[in-house]
Amino acid sequence: MKLFAGNSNRQLAESVAKYLGVSVGRANVRRFADDEIFVEIQENVRGEDIFILQSTSRPANDHLMELLILIDAFRRSSARRITAVLPYFGYARQDRRAQGRTPISAKLVANLITEAGADRVLTLDLHAGQIQGFFDIPTDNLYAVPVMARDIKAKYKNLNDVMIVSPDVGGVVRARSLAKRLDDTMLAIVDKRRDRPGESEVMNVIGDVSGKDCFLIDDIIDSGGTLCNAAEALLKDGAKSVTAYITHGVLSGAAVDRIESSKLKELVITDSIQPTAEVTAAKKVRVVSITDLIGEAIARTAHEQSVSSLFD
């Protein structure tokens, strides 16, 4: 088994390699003067079980092309099996035709990864579970909920005043899973209406959050508008505090500034996307690592063991 990485999340790749007791494989991923991507594998991989760790985060198109070219390079170098490890799967929010004459880009990206030569995919907290079915190769979708539950338990010894909150109806399954791991804590839902992409208006809080330490849970934070509005609504309804636990910290544009000036007590994200200097410097943003989760999933895949039992 050998682990390689593109340029999207070298820090996580190094941490996962350390967990596995290996070194990140030697590969030169660079650009020509016109920004074309060039890949050279600098060690023998014939007959090897290859894992390529690469989040398709910003710049999404560059990192996606790096992944595709890496896969092609390993396929042409006679690797026995190639697993694309995507801690963050970009384009996942384009998983259906919300209106006429629009693409299903998540399916297109799945086709590209498959046609490039990947034998299987390992990813984390897909925006929509049905994206697994977009791939014609085995696909394991990991969940960050155990990491979040462990962090909450470490910081809050008394869970009686804790309430898990889904920022929308679509995230109830994820929120319920976290609540179950926290000794079946209570659950609330924020009902919102979205008029335009990137904008949301909170309409109502379903559940009694009065006097509770609320934990908003979601898979992606992009502009931060939804979470900030939800925090205000929860505090208005009597919540004692509001903390957000989000798997993928996209945090585009002025999102970090928005979080810093919001009523959120804290935003906790994973390192599925490599934190920027702005994120690292933010006082209200904290990063927890998914190294153990990704590393263990890779190890089990390499040894043909169950991955789903990680979440039993």
Q: Per the annotation, does 305 bind a ligand? A: no
Active site residue 18: no
Q: Are residues 127 and 236 in the same domain?
A: no
Contact partners, residue 272, CB within 8 Å, separation at least 6: 9, 12, 55, 87, 88, 124, 125, 144, 247, 248, 249, 290
Burial class (CB in 10 A: 0-12, 13-18, 19+), 258: middle
Chain centroid to CA 302: how far?
22
Q: Are residues 174 and 296 in the same domain?
A: no
- 271: CATH: 3.40.50.2020
| pLDDT value, residue 195 | 61
Mean predicted lDDT score pLDDT of the chain:
94
**b/e string for 139-177 if b means 16 or more Cβ within 10 A?**
bbbbbbbbbbbeebeeebeebeebbbbbbbeebeebbbb
Query: What integer is the mean pLDDT of 127-135?
Result: 92
Q: Per the annotation, does 119 bind a ligand? A: no
Tokens representing residue 89 in the block:
């799967």
Q: Are residues 106 and 177 in the same domain?
A: no
First to last CA, the chain: 26
Q: Per the annotation, does 130 bind a ligand? A: no
Q: How many domains does the chain have?
A: 2
Least confident residue range of 80-84, 227-231, 258-262, 303-307: 227-231
Q: Are residues 300 and 209 in the same domain?
A: no
Q: Are residues 83 and 176 in the same domain?
A: no
Q: Per the annotation, does 136 bind a ligand? A: no
Q: Are residues 125 and 157 in the same domain?
A: no
Least confident residue range of 158-162, 198-202, 232-236: 198-202
What length is written for the chain?
Answer: 312
Q: Per the annotation, does 151 bind a ligand? A: no
- CA pseudo-torsion sign 247, 72, 46, 139: positive
- What confidence category does residue 65 fall into, taking pLDDT thresholds of 50, 70 and 90? very high
DSSP state letter for 296: H
**CA distance linking residue 174 with residue 266, whole number of Å:** 20
Could you list the residue range(s) of the whole structural domain that residue 102 is in? 2-142+292-311
Q: For residue 200, is pLDDT > 80?
A: no
Q: What percent of the chain has pLDDT over 70?
A: 96
Cis peptide before 59 (omega within 30 of 0): yes
What torsion do the CA atoms of 140, 145, 150, 156 make, to the nearest 10 degrees? 180
Report residue 187: phi and psi, to 5°: -130, 140
Q: Check: CB of residue 126 under 8 Å from CB of residue 247.
A: no
Q: Per the annotation, does 249 bind a ligand? A: no
Q: For residue 5, is pLDDT > 90?
A: yes
- What confidence category does residue 151 fall into, taking pLDDT thresholds of 50, 70 and 90? very high
Query: What integer is the mean pLDDT of 93-112?
Result: 94
Q: Check: CB of residue 290 under 8 Å from CB of residue 13.
A: no
| pLDDT value, residue 202 | 62
Catalytic residue among 180, 192, 240, 284: 192
Between the alpha carbon of residue 21 and those of residues 9, 57, 207, the distances in Å are: 18, 26, 46
- pTM (2 d.p.): 0.94
Q: What percent of the chain has pLDDT over 90?
A: 88
* Adjacency order of strands within the sheet including 120-124: 2-5, 49-53, 81-86, 120-124, 139-142
| pLDDT value, residue 268 | 98
> Side chain identity at 263, as an amino acid letter?
K
Q: Are residues 203 and 133 in the same domain?
A: no
Q: Per the annotation, does 36 bind a ligand? A: yes
| pLDDT value, residue 308 | 92
Q: Are residues 163 and 283 in the same domain?
A: yes
Query: What integer is the mean pLDDT of 128-142?
Result: 94
| pLDDT value, residue 86 | 98
Q: Check: CB of residue 203 under 8 Å from CB of residue 236.
A: no
Q: Per the annotation, does 168 bind a ligand? A: yes
Q: Are residues 169 and 257 in the same domain?
A: yes
Query: What integer is the mean pLDDT of 151-158?
Result: 89
Q: Catalogue the E-assigned strands of 87-170.
A: 120-124, 139-142, 162-166
| pLDDT value, residue 191 | 87
| pLDDT value, residue 169 | 85
Q: Per the annotation, does 207 bind a ligand? A: no
Q: What one-character-per-residue DSSP string does 17-48 give? A: HHHHT--B--EEEEE-TT--EEEEE-S--TT-
Q: Per the annotation, does 219 bind a ligand? A: no
